[in-house]
Homo-oligomer: A and B are copies of this chain.
Protein backbone atom coordinates (compact mmCIF):
# COMPACT_ATOMS: atom_id res chain seq x y z
CA UNK A 1 0.00 0.00 0.00
CA UNK A 2 1.40 3.37 -0.90
CA UNK A 3 2.10 6.04 1.69
CA UNK A 4 -0.78 8.48 2.19
CA UNK A 5 -0.45 11.85 0.50
CA UNK A 6 -0.40 15.25 2.18
CA UNK A 7 -2.74 18.09 1.27
CA UNK A 8 -0.68 21.00 -0.02
CA UNK A 9 -1.92 23.91 -2.09
CA UNK A 10 -5.17 22.24 -3.03
CA UNK A 11 -3.73 18.90 -4.13
CA UNK A 12 -3.03 15.56 -2.49
CA UNK A 13 0.71 15.34 -3.02
CA UNK A 14 3.35 12.76 -2.36
CA UNK A 15 5.08 13.86 0.82
CA UNK A 16 8.76 14.62 1.06
CA UNK A 17 8.86 12.41 4.07
CA UNK A 18 11.57 11.58 6.56
CA UNK A 19 9.84 8.38 7.65
CA UNK A 20 6.37 6.89 7.96
CA UNK A 21 4.09 5.79 10.76
CA UNK A 22 0.97 3.70 11.25
CA UNK A 23 -2.01 4.32 13.47
CA UNK A 24 -3.34 1.60 15.73
CA UNK A 25 -6.74 0.42 16.78
CA UNK A 26 -6.54 0.96 20.53
CA UNK A 27 -9.53 -1.28 21.18
CA UNK A 28 -7.72 -4.26 19.70
CA UNK A 29 -4.09 -3.21 19.83
CA UNK A 30 -3.87 -3.95 16.10
CA UNK A 31 -1.61 -1.80 13.88
CA UNK A 32 -3.53 -0.38 10.94
CA UNK A 33 -2.37 -1.02 7.39
CA UNK A 34 -2.11 2.48 5.95
CA UNK A 35 1.29 4.16 6.15
CA UNK A 36 1.35 7.93 6.73
CA UNK A 37 4.29 10.23 6.11
CA UNK A 38 6.34 12.18 8.64
CA UNK A 39 6.90 15.32 6.59
CA UNK A 40 10.31 16.88 6.13
CA UNK A 41 10.91 20.61 5.90
CA UNK A 42 10.16 20.58 2.17
CA UNK A 43 6.49 19.84 2.85
CA UNK A 44 6.31 22.47 5.59
CA UNK A 45 7.94 25.01 3.34
CA UNK A 46 5.61 24.36 0.40
CA UNK A 47 2.61 24.57 2.70
CA UNK A 48 3.84 27.87 4.16
CA UNK A 49 4.39 29.32 0.70
CA UNK A 50 0.92 28.32 -0.44
CA UNK A 51 -0.61 29.61 2.80
CA UNK A 52 1.10 32.99 2.37
CA UNK A 53 -0.29 33.24 -1.11
CA UNK A 54 -3.74 32.25 0.13
CA UNK A 55 -3.56 34.80 2.93
CA UNK A 56 -3.29 37.61 0.38
CA UNK A 57 -6.43 36.39 -1.31
CA UNK A 58 -8.37 35.85 1.90
CA UNK A 59 -7.40 39.12 3.54
CA UNK A 60 -10.16 41.12 1.93
CA UNK A 61 -12.51 38.25 1.18
CA UNK A 62 -16.16 38.89 2.01
CA UNK A 63 -17.39 37.16 5.16
CA UNK A 64 -20.09 35.70 2.95
CA UNK A 65 -17.58 33.63 1.00
CA UNK A 66 -15.82 32.36 4.12
CA UNK A 67 -19.23 31.44 5.52
CA UNK A 68 -20.10 29.59 2.32
CA UNK A 69 -16.97 27.52 2.65
CA UNK A 70 -17.61 26.66 6.30
CA UNK A 71 -21.21 25.68 5.63
CA UNK A 72 -20.37 23.66 2.54
CA UNK A 73 -17.70 21.85 4.52
CA UNK A 74 -20.26 21.08 7.24
CA UNK A 75 -22.62 19.60 4.67
CA UNK A 76 -19.79 17.60 3.11
CA UNK A 77 -18.85 16.16 6.50
CA UNK A 78 -22.45 15.11 7.06
CA UNK A 79 -22.53 13.44 3.64
CA UNK A 80 -19.39 11.49 4.42
CA UNK A 81 -20.33 10.87 8.05
CA UNK A 82 -20.53 7.08 7.86
CA UNK A 83 -16.98 6.67 6.61
CA UNK A 84 -15.60 9.39 8.89
CA UNK A 85 -17.21 7.90 11.99
CA UNK A 86 -15.99 4.44 11.08
CA UNK A 87 -12.43 5.68 10.64
CA UNK A 88 -12.52 7.56 13.92
CA UNK A 89 -13.97 4.60 15.76
CA UNK A 90 -11.24 2.37 14.41
CA UNK A 91 -8.44 4.81 15.25
CA UNK A 92 -9.62 6.05 18.64
CA UNK A 93 -11.66 3.24 20.14
CA UNK A 94 -14.36 5.78 20.98
CA UNK A 95 -17.92 4.43 20.57
CA UNK A 96 -19.29 5.06 17.09
CA UNK A 97 -22.64 5.83 18.67
CA UNK A 98 -23.62 7.88 20.47
CA UNK A 99 -20.25 9.53 21.04
CA UNK A 100 -18.81 9.97 17.56
CA UNK A 101 -21.87 9.92 15.31
CA UNK A 102 -24.50 11.53 17.50
CA UNK A 103 -22.51 13.86 19.74
CA UNK A 104 -19.12 14.86 18.43
CA UNK A 105 -19.88 15.01 14.72
CA UNK A 106 -22.99 17.20 15.09
CA UNK A 107 -21.07 19.37 17.53
CA UNK A 108 -18.34 19.80 14.94
CA UNK A 109 -20.66 20.78 12.11
CA UNK A 110 -22.52 23.05 14.52
CA UNK A 111 -19.23 24.83 15.32
CA UNK A 112 -18.49 25.24 11.63
CA UNK A 113 -21.94 26.74 11.10
CA UNK A 114 -21.65 29.07 14.10
CA UNK A 115 -18.30 30.22 12.76
CA UNK A 116 -19.94 30.78 9.37
CA UNK A 117 -22.62 32.92 10.97
CA UNK A 118 -19.94 34.99 12.74
CA UNK A 119 -18.01 35.44 9.49
CA UNK A 120 -21.19 36.60 7.79
CA UNK A 121 -22.24 38.95 10.60
CA UNK A 122 -18.73 40.49 10.90
CA UNK A 123 -19.38 41.84 14.41
CA UNK A 124 -16.37 39.82 15.61
CA UNK A 125 -14.19 42.41 13.86
CA UNK A 126 -15.33 44.89 16.49
CA UNK A 127 -15.34 47.86 14.08
CA UNK A 128 -14.68 50.99 16.13
CA UNK A 129 -15.26 54.41 14.61
CA UNK A 130 -14.12 57.82 15.78
CA UNK A 131 -15.82 59.67 12.97
CA UNK A 132 -14.94 63.14 14.19
CA UNK A 133 -11.21 62.48 14.07
CA UNK A 134 -11.48 59.96 11.22
CA UNK A 135 -9.71 57.26 13.20
CA UNK A 136 -11.19 53.81 12.71
CA UNK A 137 -10.09 50.33 13.65
CA UNK A 138 -11.17 46.73 13.39
CA UNK A 139 -9.82 43.23 13.72
CA UNK A 140 -8.44 41.73 10.52
CA UNK A 141 -6.85 38.38 9.61
CA UNK A 142 -3.49 37.71 11.29
CA UNK A 143 -2.07 35.46 8.56
CA UNK A 144 -1.51 31.71 8.14
CA UNK A 145 -2.51 29.77 11.27
CA UNK A 146 -0.91 26.46 12.22
CA UNK A 147 -3.30 24.24 14.18
CA UNK A 148 -2.10 21.27 16.21
CA UNK A 149 -5.10 19.15 17.20
CA UNK A 150 -5.17 16.82 20.23
CA UNK A 151 -5.70 13.07 20.45
CA UNK A 152 -9.04 13.10 22.27
CA UNK A 153 -11.57 14.74 19.96
CA UNK A 154 -10.98 13.45 16.43
CA UNK A 155 -13.60 15.83 14.98
CA UNK A 156 -14.42 18.69 17.35
CA UNK A 157 -10.80 19.68 18.07
CA UNK A 158 -9.16 18.21 14.97
CA UNK A 159 -6.73 20.66 13.38
CA UNK A 160 -8.59 20.28 10.08
CA UNK A 161 -12.18 20.54 11.37
CA UNK A 162 -12.32 21.66 15.00
CA UNK A 163 -12.83 24.88 16.90
CA UNK A 164 -9.41 26.40 16.14
CA UNK A 165 -9.81 25.56 12.46
CA UNK A 166 -13.28 27.09 12.28
CA UNK A 167 -12.20 30.23 14.16
CA UNK A 168 -9.07 30.76 12.06
CA UNK A 169 -10.92 30.38 8.76
CA UNK A 170 -13.88 32.50 9.86
CA UNK A 171 -11.40 35.24 10.77
CA UNK A 172 -10.07 35.06 7.20
CA UNK A 173 -6.89 33.05 7.66
CA UNK A 174 -5.50 30.01 5.84
CA UNK A 175 -4.93 26.99 8.06
CA UNK A 176 -2.13 24.47 7.98
CA UNK A 177 -3.44 21.60 10.09
CA UNK A 178 -1.09 19.20 11.80
CA UNK A 179 -3.22 16.08 12.15
CA UNK A 180 -2.84 14.08 15.33
CA UNK A 181 -0.86 10.90 14.58
CA UNK A 182 -3.39 8.78 16.49
CA UNK A 183 -6.13 9.45 13.92
CA UNK A 184 -4.52 10.20 10.56
CA UNK A 185 -7.10 8.40 8.43
CA UNK A 186 -9.96 10.28 10.08
CA UNK A 187 -8.09 13.52 9.41
CA UNK A 188 -7.47 12.49 5.82
CA UNK A 189 -11.18 11.93 5.21
CA UNK A 190 -12.05 15.26 6.82
CA UNK A 191 -9.36 17.07 4.85
CA UNK A 192 -10.76 15.67 1.61
CA UNK A 193 -14.18 17.12 2.45
CA UNK A 194 -12.52 20.44 3.27
CA UNK A 195 -10.62 20.34 -0.03
CA UNK A 196 -13.81 19.78 -1.98
CA UNK A 197 -15.45 22.70 -0.17
CA UNK A 198 -12.45 24.92 -0.99
CA UNK A 199 -12.89 24.08 -4.66
CA UNK A 200 -16.65 24.51 -4.76
CA UNK A 201 -16.64 27.83 -2.91
CA UNK A 202 -13.64 29.31 -4.70
CA UNK A 203 -11.26 29.75 -1.78
CA UNK A 204 -7.55 29.98 -2.68
CA UNK A 205 -5.94 26.58 -3.05
CA UNK A 206 -3.63 27.15 -0.09
CA UNK A 207 -6.36 28.12 2.33
CA UNK A 208 -6.73 24.64 3.82
CA UNK A 209 -3.75 22.29 4.01
CA UNK A 210 -2.79 19.31 6.12
CA UNK A 211 0.32 17.45 7.15
CA UNK A 212 0.13 14.31 9.26
CA UNK A 213 3.27 14.54 11.29
CA UNK A 214 6.71 16.06 11.46
CA UNK A 215 9.71 15.79 13.76
CA UNK A 216 9.74 17.94 16.88
CA UNK A 217 12.54 20.00 15.39
CA UNK A 218 10.53 20.68 12.21
CA UNK A 219 7.52 21.57 14.34
CA UNK A 220 9.52 24.21 16.19
CA UNK A 221 10.82 25.57 12.91
CA UNK A 222 7.29 25.64 11.48
CA UNK A 223 5.73 27.69 14.29
CA UNK A 224 8.55 30.24 14.24
CA UNK A 225 8.60 30.75 10.47
CA UNK A 226 8.23 34.41 9.42
CA UNK A 227 5.25 33.51 7.20
CA UNK A 228 3.19 32.29 10.17
CA UNK A 229 0.52 34.54 11.66
CA UNK A 230 -0.42 32.55 14.77
CA UNK A 231 -0.54 29.05 16.22
CA UNK A 232 -3.21 27.01 17.99
CA UNK A 233 -2.24 23.94 20.01
CA UNK A 234 -4.16 21.50 22.15
CA UNK A 235 -2.12 18.76 23.74
CA UNK A 236 0.44 17.92 26.36
CA UNK A 237 2.20 20.42 28.57
CA UNK A 238 5.66 19.23 27.59
CA UNK A 239 5.10 19.49 23.87
CA UNK A 240 3.17 22.70 24.28
CA UNK A 241 5.89 24.45 26.24
CA UNK A 242 8.50 23.73 23.57
CA UNK A 243 6.26 25.11 20.83
CA UNK A 244 5.36 28.07 23.04
CA UNK A 245 8.94 29.15 23.46
CA UNK A 246 9.78 28.72 19.79
CA UNK A 247 6.74 30.68 18.62
CA UNK A 248 7.06 33.43 21.22
CA UNK A 249 10.77 33.95 20.65
CA UNK A 250 9.82 34.63 17.03
CA UNK A 251 7.06 37.03 18.14
CA UNK A 252 4.18 34.77 17.05
CA UNK A 253 1.01 34.61 19.15
CA UNK A 254 0.42 31.01 20.20
CA UNK A 255 -2.67 29.78 22.00
CA UNK A 256 -2.12 26.59 23.92
CA UNK A 257 -4.43 24.40 25.89
CA UNK A 258 -2.18 22.17 27.90
CA UNK A 259 -3.11 20.83 31.27
CA UNK A 260 -6.00 20.93 33.74
CA UNK A 261 -7.11 18.82 36.69
CA UNK A 262 -10.50 20.58 37.06
CA UNK A 263 -11.06 20.61 40.81
CA UNK A 264 -14.56 19.71 42.00
CA UNK A 265 -15.47 20.72 45.55
CA UNK A 266 -18.35 19.04 47.36
CA UNK A 267 -19.36 21.19 50.32
CA UNK A 268 -20.75 19.24 53.29
CA UNK A 269 -24.36 20.33 52.87
CA UNK A 270 -24.44 19.19 49.24
CA UNK A 271 -23.40 15.66 50.18
CA UNK A 272 -25.87 15.61 53.05
CA UNK A 273 -28.69 16.53 50.69
CA UNK A 274 -27.95 14.34 47.74
CA UNK A 275 -24.98 11.99 48.02
CA UNK A 276 -26.40 9.25 45.83
CA UNK A 277 -27.15 11.36 42.78
CA UNK A 278 -23.89 13.30 43.13
CA UNK A 279 -21.87 10.13 43.25
CA UNK A 280 -23.44 8.94 39.99
CA UNK A 281 -22.88 12.35 38.35
CA UNK A 282 -19.26 12.34 39.41
CA UNK A 283 -18.58 8.83 38.20
CA UNK A 284 -20.24 9.55 34.85
CA UNK A 285 -18.12 12.65 34.43
CA UNK A 286 -14.84 11.05 35.52
CA UNK A 287 -15.21 8.01 33.28
CA UNK A 288 -16.68 9.70 30.20
CA UNK A 289 -14.34 9.01 27.30
CA UNK A 290 -12.15 7.04 29.73
CA UNK A 291 -11.42 10.32 31.46
CA UNK A 292 -9.66 11.66 28.40
CA UNK A 293 -11.48 15.01 28.35
CA UNK A 294 -9.66 18.30 28.96
CA UNK A 295 -12.29 19.10 31.58
CA UNK A 296 -12.38 15.71 33.29
CA UNK A 297 -12.49 16.06 37.10
CA UNK A 298 -9.15 14.79 38.31
CA UNK A 299 -9.22 16.37 41.75
CA UNK A 300 -12.16 16.05 44.14
CA UNK A 301 -12.18 18.01 47.38
CA UNK A 302 -14.48 16.94 50.23
CA UNK A 303 -14.81 17.36 53.95
CA UNK A 304 -13.46 14.71 56.32
CA UNK A 305 -16.31 12.69 57.81
CA UNK A 306 -18.71 9.79 57.56
CA UNK A 307 -20.74 11.28 54.69
CA UNK A 308 -17.57 11.56 52.65
CA UNK A 309 -16.45 8.03 53.50
CA UNK A 310 -19.73 6.63 52.34
CA UNK A 311 -19.70 8.84 49.22
CA UNK A 312 -16.20 7.72 48.27
CA UNK A 313 -17.18 4.12 48.89
CA UNK A 314 -19.96 4.41 46.37
CA UNK A 315 -17.67 6.14 43.87
CA UNK A 316 -15.11 3.42 44.38
CA UNK A 317 -17.70 0.69 43.86
CA UNK A 318 -18.89 2.29 40.67
CA UNK A 319 -15.31 2.63 39.41
CA UNK A 320 -14.91 -1.12 39.98
CA UNK A 321 -18.23 -2.05 38.41
CA UNK A 322 -18.06 0.06 35.27
CA UNK A 323 -16.01 -1.50 32.51
CA UNK A 324 -12.79 0.35 31.77
CA UNK A 325 -13.12 1.94 28.33
CA UNK A 326 -10.36 1.61 25.75
CA UNK A 327 -7.83 4.41 25.91
CA UNK A 328 -6.85 6.41 22.85
CA UNK A 329 -3.49 4.65 22.66
CA UNK A 330 -1.20 2.24 24.41
CA UNK A 331 1.20 5.12 24.93
CA UNK A 332 -1.59 6.84 26.85
CA UNK A 333 -1.92 3.80 29.07
CA UNK A 334 1.80 3.88 29.78
CA UNK A 335 1.55 7.54 30.70
CA UNK A 336 -1.29 6.80 33.08
CA UNK A 337 0.76 4.06 34.70
CA UNK A 338 3.64 6.47 35.11
CA UNK A 339 1.37 9.23 36.46
CA UNK A 340 -0.40 7.01 39.00
CA UNK A 341 2.96 5.82 40.25
CA UNK A 342 4.08 9.42 40.66
CA UNK A 343 0.95 10.28 42.66
CA UNK A 344 1.49 7.27 44.91
CA UNK A 345 5.15 8.21 45.31
CA UNK A 346 3.87 11.62 46.44
CA UNK A 347 1.94 9.84 49.24
CA UNK A 348 -1.45 9.39 47.53
CA UNK A 349 -3.25 6.21 48.62
CA UNK A 350 -4.69 3.85 46.01
CA UNK A 351 -8.38 3.11 46.66
CA UNK A 352 -9.17 1.13 43.56
CA UNK A 353 -7.69 0.42 40.13
CA UNK A 354 -4.08 1.35 39.67
CA UNK A 355 -3.20 -1.22 37.04
CA UNK A 356 -3.49 -1.87 33.30
CA UNK A 357 -6.33 -4.16 32.25
CA UNK A 358 -5.63 -7.61 30.92
CA UNK A 359 -6.93 -8.66 27.52
CA UNK A 360 -7.06 -7.07 24.13
CA UNK A 361 -6.53 -3.39 23.49
CA UNK A 362 -5.18 -0.67 25.70
CA UNK A 363 -7.15 -0.13 28.85
CA UNK A 364 -6.36 0.90 32.40
CA UNK A 365 -8.52 0.08 35.41
CA UNK A 366 -10.78 2.94 36.53
CA UNK A 367 -8.66 4.41 39.29
CA UNK A 368 -9.49 6.29 42.46
CA UNK A 369 -6.75 7.64 44.72
CA UNK A 370 -7.02 9.64 47.86
CA UNK A 371 -4.99 11.87 50.13
CA UNK A 372 -5.61 14.14 53.07
CA UNK A 373 -5.50 17.91 52.86
CA UNK A 374 -2.34 17.80 54.95
CA UNK A 375 -0.72 15.45 52.46
CA UNK A 376 -1.71 17.72 49.59
CA UNK A 377 -0.23 20.72 51.36
CA UNK A 378 2.98 18.78 51.93
CA UNK A 379 3.25 17.86 48.21
CA UNK A 380 1.24 20.48 46.37
CA UNK A 381 3.24 20.27 43.19
CA UNK A 382 3.37 16.50 42.81
CA UNK A 383 -0.23 15.90 43.90
CA UNK A 384 -1.71 18.26 41.31
CA UNK A 385 -0.03 16.48 38.46
CA UNK A 386 -2.41 15.87 35.56
CA UNK A 387 -2.90 12.18 34.75
CA UNK A 388 -4.80 12.13 31.46
CA UNK A 389 -7.31 9.30 31.68
CA UNK A 390 -9.71 7.50 34.00
CA UNK A 391 -7.86 8.47 37.18
CA UNK A 392 -9.29 10.70 39.89
CA UNK A 393 -7.92 11.73 43.26
CA UNK A 394 -10.06 12.62 46.26
CA UNK A 395 -8.57 14.93 48.86
CA UNK A 396 -10.32 15.12 52.21
CA UNK A 397 -10.19 18.42 54.01
CA UNK A 398 -10.09 19.04 57.75
CA UNK A 399 -11.56 22.56 57.64
CA UNK A 400 -12.13 25.58 55.46
CA UNK A 401 -8.71 27.06 56.21
CA UNK A 402 -7.06 23.95 54.83
CA UNK A 403 -9.21 24.13 51.72
CA UNK A 404 -8.29 27.77 51.23
CA UNK A 405 -4.61 26.90 51.56
CA UNK A 406 -5.02 24.19 48.92
CA UNK A 407 -6.88 26.46 46.51
CA UNK A 408 -4.26 29.14 46.84
CA UNK A 409 -1.61 26.61 45.77
CA UNK A 410 -3.46 25.35 42.73
CA UNK A 411 -2.09 26.11 39.29
CA UNK A 412 -4.44 27.49 36.64
CA UNK A 413 -7.26 25.22 35.43
CA UNK A 414 -9.87 25.26 32.71
CA UNK A 415 -12.68 24.67 35.19
CA UNK A 416 -13.47 24.67 38.89
CA UNK A 417 -16.71 23.40 40.37
CA UNK A 418 -18.50 23.87 43.66
CA UNK A 419 -21.44 21.76 44.78
CA UNK A 420 -23.31 23.34 47.67
CA UNK A 421 -26.53 22.70 49.57
CA UNK A 422 -29.75 23.99 48.09
CA UNK A 423 -30.77 24.86 51.65
CA UNK A 424 -28.12 27.57 51.88
CA UNK A 425 -26.24 25.61 54.57
CA UNK A 426 -22.96 25.93 52.63
CA UNK A 427 -23.26 29.57 51.66
CA UNK A 428 -20.84 30.92 54.24
CA UNK A 429 -18.12 28.50 53.12
CA UNK A 430 -18.90 29.21 49.45
CA UNK A 431 -18.29 32.91 49.99
CA UNK A 432 -14.93 32.21 51.59
CA UNK A 433 -13.59 29.85 48.94
CA UNK A 434 -15.10 31.26 45.75
CA UNK A 435 -12.68 34.19 45.40
CA UNK A 436 -9.69 31.83 45.60
CA UNK A 437 -11.08 29.28 43.16
CA UNK A 438 -12.40 31.98 40.81
CA UNK A 439 -8.92 33.37 40.09
CA UNK A 440 -7.53 29.91 39.30
CA UNK A 441 -10.04 28.81 36.67
CA UNK A 442 -11.50 29.97 33.37
CA UNK A 443 -14.99 28.57 34.05
CA UNK A 444 -16.60 28.34 37.45
CA UNK A 445 -19.46 25.87 37.77
CA UNK A 446 -22.13 25.38 40.38
CA UNK A 447 -23.84 22.05 40.95
CA UNK A 448 -22.93 20.51 37.61
CA UNK A 449 -20.01 18.57 36.21
CA UNK A 450 -17.44 20.34 34.02
CA UNK A 451 -17.22 17.76 31.23
CA UNK A 452 -19.90 19.39 29.06
CA UNK A 453 -18.52 22.37 27.10
CA UNK A 454 -21.42 24.12 25.37
CA UNK A 455 -20.62 26.01 22.17
CA UNK A 456 -22.11 29.23 23.52
CA UNK A 457 -21.00 32.83 22.93
CA UNK A 458 -20.64 33.04 26.72
CA UNK A 459 -18.46 29.92 27.06
CA UNK A 460 -14.86 30.21 28.22
CA UNK A 461 -12.80 27.17 27.42
CA UNK A 462 -9.61 28.70 28.66
CA UNK A 463 -7.98 29.65 31.93
CA UNK A 464 -4.78 30.73 33.66
CA UNK A 465 -1.46 29.06 32.91
CA UNK A 466 -0.78 26.17 32.54
CA UNK A 467 -4.37 25.42 31.50
CA UNK A 468 -3.69 27.77 28.62
CA UNK A 469 -1.03 30.30 27.74
CA UNK A 470 -3.23 33.42 28.13
CA UNK A 471 -6.24 33.74 30.43
CA UNK A 472 -7.91 36.38 28.26
CA UNK A 473 -8.83 34.03 25.40
CA UNK A 474 -11.20 31.14 24.83
CA UNK A 475 -10.93 28.36 22.26
CA UNK A 476 -14.66 27.52 22.43
CA UNK A 477 -17.37 30.14 22.09
CA UNK A 478 -18.04 32.11 18.96
CA UNK A 479 -17.33 34.91 18.11
CA UNK A 480 -14.82 35.33 20.98
CA UNK A 481 -12.59 32.51 19.72
CA UNK A 482 -12.04 34.29 16.39
CA UNK A 483 -10.19 37.24 17.89
CA UNK A 484 -7.27 34.95 18.74
CA UNK A 485 -6.45 34.84 15.06
CA UNK A 486 -6.75 38.54 14.36
CA UNK A 487 -4.61 41.65 14.37
CA UNK A 488 -5.93 45.06 15.25
CA UNK A 489 -5.76 47.42 12.27
CA UNK A 490 -6.27 51.14 12.64
CA UNK A 491 -6.89 53.61 9.82
CA UNK A 492 -5.94 57.18 10.64
CA UNK A 493 -6.96 59.88 8.20
CA UNK A 494 -7.56 57.32 5.46
CA UNK A 495 -9.91 58.33 2.63
CA UNK A 496 -13.25 56.62 2.86
CA UNK A 497 -13.08 54.73 -0.44
CA UNK A 498 -9.85 53.11 0.77
CA UNK A 499 -11.36 51.80 4.00
CA UNK A 500 -12.56 48.22 4.52
CA UNK A 501 -16.34 48.02 4.14
CA UNK A 502 -16.97 47.59 7.87
CA UNK A 503 -15.28 50.92 8.65
CA UNK A 504 -17.04 53.18 6.16
CA UNK A 505 -19.58 55.71 7.37
CA UNK A 506 -22.38 53.74 5.75
CA UNK A 507 -22.12 50.00 6.10
CA UNK A 508 -23.85 47.65 3.69
CA UNK A 509 -23.89 44.68 6.04
CA UNK A 510 -27.00 45.34 8.12
CA UNK A 511 -26.10 42.64 10.66
CA UNK A 512 -22.77 44.07 11.84
CA UNK A 513 -22.52 45.62 15.30
CA UNK A 514 -20.09 48.54 15.44
CA UNK A 515 -18.81 50.70 18.27
CA UNK A 516 -19.43 54.26 17.12
CA UNK A 517 -18.22 56.73 19.70
CA UNK A 518 -19.21 54.87 22.84
CA UNK A 519 -22.36 53.22 21.49
CA UNK A 520 -22.85 49.85 19.90
CA UNK A 521 -24.88 50.34 16.74
CA UNK A 522 -26.09 47.75 14.27
CA UNK A 523 -26.28 48.34 10.54
> Which A residues are within 8 Å of any B CB, using their own CB?
56, 59-60, 121, 123, 128-130, 133, 135-137, 139-140, 142-143, 244-245, 248-253, 412, 415, 430, 434-435, 438-439, 442-448, 450, 454, 456-460, 462, 464-466, 469-474, 477, 480, 483-484, 486-495, 498, 513, 515, 517-520, 522
Nearest chain-B residue to A131 (Cβ)? B458
- The reply to whether B486 and A443 contact each other, CB–CB distance below 8 Å, is no
List residues of chain B with CB within 8 A of the CB of A250: 465
The distance from the CB of A113 to the nearest CB of chain B, in whole angstroms, is 14
- The reply to whether A434 and B498 contact each other, CB–CB distance below 8 Å, is yes
> What's the Cα separation between A139 and B474 when bound, in Å?
12
The 8 Å CB contact of A488, one of B60, B121, B462, B487, is B462
- The reply to whether B492 and A133 contact each other, CB–CB distance below 8 Å, is no
> What's the Cα separation between A359 and B103 when bound, in Å?
78
- The reply to whether A493 and B456 contact each other, CB–CB distance below 8 Å, is no
The 8 Å CB contact of A471, one of B133, B142, B458, B470, is B142
Give 14 A-B pairs besides A446-B492, A460-B488 with Cβ atoms closer than 8 angstroms.
A59-B435, A59-B439, A130-B457, A135-B456, A137-B458, A137-B460, A143-B439, A245-B245, A445-B493, A446-B495, A462-B488, A473-B488, A474-B488, A474-B490
The 8 Å CB contact of A490, one of B139, B460, B472, is B460
The 8 Å CB contact of A133, one of B456, B470, B484, B518, is B456
The distance from the CB of A215 to the nearest CB of chain B, in whole angstroms, is 23
List residues of chain B with CB within 8 A of the CB of A450: 492
The distance from the CB of A299 to the nearest CB of chain B, in whole angstroms, is 18
- The reply to whether A493 and B446 contact each other, CB–CB distance below 8 Å, is yes
The distance from the CB of A201 to the nearest CB of chain B, in whole angstroms, is 22
List residues of chain B with CB within 8 A of the CB of A430: 498
Q: Looking at A250, A439, A474, which has the most chain B CB atoms within 10 Å of its CB?
A: A439
Q: List 17 A-B contacts (CB under 8 A).
A: A130-B459, A143-B439, A251-B469, A253-B471, A253-B472, A415-B492, A442-B489, A444-B489, A444-B491, A445-B493, A446-B491, A446-B495, A446-B498, A448-B492, A459-B492, A472-B484, A472-B487
Q: Looking at A435, A458, A474, A515, which has the most chain B CB atoms within 10 Å of its CB?
A: A458
The 8 Å CB contact of A458, one of B129, B252, B465, is B129
The distance from the CB of A449 to the nearest CB of chain B, in whole angstroms, is 10
List residues of chain B with CB within 8 A of the CB of A448: 492-493
List residues of chain B with CB within 8 A of the CB of A488: 442, 460, 462, 471-474, 480
Are A459 and B493 also in contact (CB < 8 A) when A121-B518, A470-B253 are? Answer: no
List residues of chain B with CB within 8 A of the CB of A493: 445-448
- The reply to whether B472 and A56 contact each other, CB–CB distance below 8 Å, is no
List residues of chain B with CB within 8 A of the CB of A415: 492
- The reply to whether B487 and A464 contact each other, CB–CB distance below 8 Å, is yes
The distance from the CB of A55 to the nearest CB of chain B, in whole angstroms, is 8
The 8 Å CB contact of A456, one of B59, B130, B253, B446, is B130
Are A136 and B458 also in contact (CB < 8 A) when A253-B471, A473-B488 are? Answer: yes
> What's the Cα separation between A60 and B135 when bound, in Å?
34
List residues of chain B with CB within 8 A of the CB of A513: 519-520
The distance from the CB of A515 to the nearest CB of chain B, in whole angstroms, is 7
The distance from the CB of A378 to the nearest CB of chain B, in whole angstroms, is 19
> What's the Cα separation between A128 and B444 when bound, in Å?
15
The 8 Å CB contact of A130, one of B439, B458, B515, is B458
Nearest chain-B residue to A488 (Cβ)? B460
Nearest chain-B residue to A443 (Cβ)? B490
The distance from the CB of A322 to the nearest CB of chain B, in whole angstroms, is 25
> What's the Cα separation between A121 and B448 when bound, in Å?
32
List residues of chain B with CB within 8 A of the CB of A249: 245
Q: Looking at A462, A473, A487, A518, which has the most chain B CB atoms within 10 Å of its CB?
A: A487
The distance from the CB of A137 to the nearest CB of chain B, in whole angstroms, is 5
> What's the Cα separation between A469 and B489 when bound, in Å?
15
Question: Which 4 pairs, one residue from A and one from B, show the smallest C-beta to C-beta distance?
Answer: A251-B465, A460-B490, A520-B520, A471-B487
The distance from the CB of A450 to the nearest CB of chain B, in whole angstroms, is 8
- The reply to whether B472 and A486 contact each other, CB–CB distance below 8 Å, is yes
